[in-house]
Every structure is written in structure tokens, then in C-alpha cells.
Structure 1
Amino acid sequence: QLLHAAINEPGRNFIGIEVHRPGVGRLMNGLAEAAIDNVRVARHDAVEVLQRMIGKDALDEVRIYFPDPWPKKRHHKRRLIQPDFIDSLAARVRPGGLLHLATDWADYAAHMLAVVDASDAWRNRAGLGAYSAAPPWRINTHFEKRGLRLGHGVWDLVHERT
């Protein structure tokens, strides 16, 4: 997904944040093969990178695709999309910037929608309580294809920073 974006949006700079070493390695290999130079990659926790390395209003857009759904109820507190994280993103995305989320887990989609819609810092482009159609810039990811094979739906959320 990030490689696709970097190739198809050469005038933009991207920061990829991922903790999974093999995923980072595949991305780095793909960037090298395509001679892409508009991507920087951090193999680290996204919350920490956001809090320690990204300044106020520094980002035009944040794309979070198929984050770990932590499907067991006792693990829901580990989900990336939480009110504090959404507030932290809002401080780092410029007004008018975008937040695009996608998941293939129905209950996580509902959770994400409730969390982001509850924030005064974001406006749901599809309308309060509504999901967006997949924007043209998001291609099908490996996780999305797996989810569809398993009979999951896919939900996109696109919010604008107020």
C-alpha cells in the first residue's frame, strides 16, 4: 500500500511506521527496486513515533490500514485507535488534513467510527455515523484480500481535521 502510494503520488513525501520487521523489509526492498526516494520508514511503535518525532500540524494526511483488531474483548485496550491516539493525531495533522482508516473487522470498524466521530477535532466526510466508500488512492491490501476470503466486509473511514 505505501509503495503503491509512493509510486503513484511522487510529489508527496511519506512516512511509514511499522513494528513488524518482515513487513518493513518487504517495503524497503520494494522501494529500492522501484528507486523510490519519497518515503522514510520507522520500525517502531506508531504512538511513540507520533508523540516524540512529529511536530504540531506537520502532517497533511494519515492513513492507517488494517491495524491489528485485537479481537478478544480483554485485548481491546491494545487497539491503536483510541481517543488519546486520535487526539494526538489531531495535534499533528494540519487543519483540513485527512485521516483515512480501513479495517475488515466489523466491531473494530464500529469502534473506530465511534471514537473518531466523538472527537471535535475531526469531521466525518461521509456524515456523522457513516462509513466512506474506499477512496481511489487505497488499493486492496494483503490483509484486505485475506479478510474478504474469510467473508469479512471492509470499512473505510475518511475524516477531515477541523
Structure 2
Amino acid sequence: AGEAEGGVAPSREERKQDHINQVQQKLEAIAAGEKGLGKVRQHVNPLKSQFQIPTEAPSWSEVYGDPTLPMHLDIGCGKGRFLLELAAINSDTNHYGVEIREPLVVRANKWAQDAGLRNCHFSFANMNASIRTILKGYAGRISLVTLLMPDPWFKARHHKRRVVNPEFVEALAEEVPSGARLIVGSDVRDVYDDIVYVLGNSTAWVEVPGGSDEWPLERQTERQISVQSRGEALYHSVYTRR
């Protein structure tokens, strides 16, 4: 980097912010130049037999520049923009997004590659079927898990399709270390209440007092931004692994 106006070299924070801005501009340019994916289903039934095959972990040394860094796991990452932007901001963390809609995963990995982000990767998987396999062999510490705006499955007969259930919560607890943070959120009160109820009945997770007061991360998901722009309510809570 060159010297700033007046001959003063830019600070470390200024250089970091410049890098973040460059990556974000690159992501916007990549997205603007992308052709449509065609019709991608908004909701996919995770109980279908094709989604019951566990997805194996990737080769961590191939997908990350440094596979020993702490990991941020985003479950149900959607288009991946939220995670890509966080990866640009937090170069000292590996970001791993898991999504059940394969076309979105393929595109998100292309965006990460085109943006030069060696700390961001996406996998196509049904997390309920893959929680015990998809993180195997990771050398770093899983420090943060986000589960935001999951498919609501409104109809009572479809509630069994929701990602958060007692079995999943306990399986996730077995895969992350003590002290790991879990951030959950939804714009559907019934879904949020259901998640909080399940976590509240688990002995593995402890709710952080005041965790729902302010949004704890530097970025929000596209869905969160859209909901807020309409003046609608958002709900979130923060937990730690005992």
C-alpha cells in the first residue's frame, strides 16, 4: 500500500478496511455479472431419501489457506453473501457454510474463488443427516455456529422438517467445544420460540444474558436486511456450549 495524503502511511486498520471494501466491491461486481441460476426452490424437503445420505467433510487443506484457524459454521447459508462478507472482514477465521440447495452452493464457492477468499468454503448437505460427518478432521476450533432464518415450515404436519430438534441440538453439541457460541434467529415468532424451547431443554447449551439485545456480528443475512427494511420484527438469541 502507498502512503496516504501528507506522506503518512495508512494504519493497519485503514489497510484492513481498504481490503474489506475491495472484496465487497468485487463481490458486488461478481454478483451483478452472474447469469441467473434458473428456478431454485425456496424450500427443499430435507426428509426426502436423497437428502438422507451423510455428506463427508471436505479436504480441509484444499479448501482453506490455513485449516487450523478457528471456524465459523453457518447452517443454512442460503446464497452465501453473509458469510462471504464476514470472511472478508475476519481473515483470522475460516468460514464454512452448509446449504441444502446445491445450485446456491456451487455459485457461492465460485464467488469465494473469484473474490480470492481462501478462508471461505461452502458444502451441499442436509445438516440434520450430516452433522456427525461433515466436520470430521477439522484441526481448528469451531468457535461460532450461526443458524439464521431457517425454513419455517408453517404447516403443523411439516414441523418435523424443521432443522432444530432435540436430536440435532445434542448432536451439534457433541461436535463443538465448550465455550463455542451459537447464534440463532428468525423473523417468524413461532419458529424462534420453537428453537428457544428446544435449546432451553438441552443441558449442553446456556443462553447468554442480554444476547438478544443487540445484533452481535458485523453483518446480517440478506433476509434480515430485507425484513428490517419493511419494519418487521427480527428475533435472535445467543448461546454458549457448556
| TM-score bin, normalised by smaller chain | 0.7 to 0.9
Q: Using the alignment, how far apart are the partners of 2:132 and 2:231 within structure 1?
A: 36
Q: Which is further off, 101-110 or 52-61?
A: 52-61
TM-score (norm 1): 0.86
Q: Which of 117, 120, 123 does residue 200 from structure 2 map onto? A: 117
Q: Report the CA distance between 1:132 and its aligned residue.
A: 4.5
Q: Which is further off, 112-121 or 16-25?
A: 16-25
1:48 has 2:129 as partner: yes
Q: Which of 154, 158, 181 does residue 98 from structure 1 map onto? A: 181
Name the structure 1 match of 2:148: 65
Q: Which of 111, 122, 127 does residue 30 from structure 1 map onto? A: 111
Name the structure 1 match of 2:224: 144
Q: Using the alignment, how far apart are the partners of 2:214 and 2:158 within structure 1?
A: 28
**In 2 relative to 1, CA 132–45 (structure 1 residues): closer, same or farther, beyond 3 Å?**
farther
Name the structure 2 match of 1:86: 169
1:58–1:92: 8 Å Cα contact kept in structure 2? no
Name the structure 2 match of 1:4: 85
Q: Report the CA distance between 1:94 and its aligned residue.
A: 0.3
Name the structure 2 match of 1:156: 236
SS at match of 1:95: coil
Q: Using the alignment, how far apart are the partners of 1:47 and 1:6 within structure 2?
A: 25
Root-mean-square deviation (Å): 2.2
SS at match of 2:194: helix
SS at match of 1:145: helix
2:112–2:121: 8 Å Cα contact kept in structure 1? no
TM-score (norm 2): 0.60
SS at match of 1:53: coil
1:135 has 2:231 as partner: no
Q: Which is further off, 86-95 or 65-74?
A: 65-74
Q: Which amino acid aligns with 1:34?
A: A
Structure 1 residue runs of 4+, over 3 Å off? 55-58, 145-152
SS at match of 1:31: helix
Q: Report the CA distance between 1:5 and its aligned residue.
A: 1.4
**In 2 relative to 1, CA 70–23 (structure 1 residues): closer, same or farther, beyond 3 Å?**
same
Q: Which amino acid aligns with 1:98?
A: R
1:39 has 2:125 as partner: no
1:132–1:155: 8 Å Cα contact kept in structure 2? no
2:109–2:121: 8 Å Cα contact kept in structure 1? no
**Uncovered stretches (5+) of structure 2, i.e. residues with no partner:** 1-81
**Uncovered stretches (5+) of structure 1, i.e. residues with no partner:** none
SS at match of 2:224: helix
Q: Using the alignment, how far apart are the partners of 2:102 and 2:231 within structure 1?
A: 28
1:76 has 2:159 as partner: yes
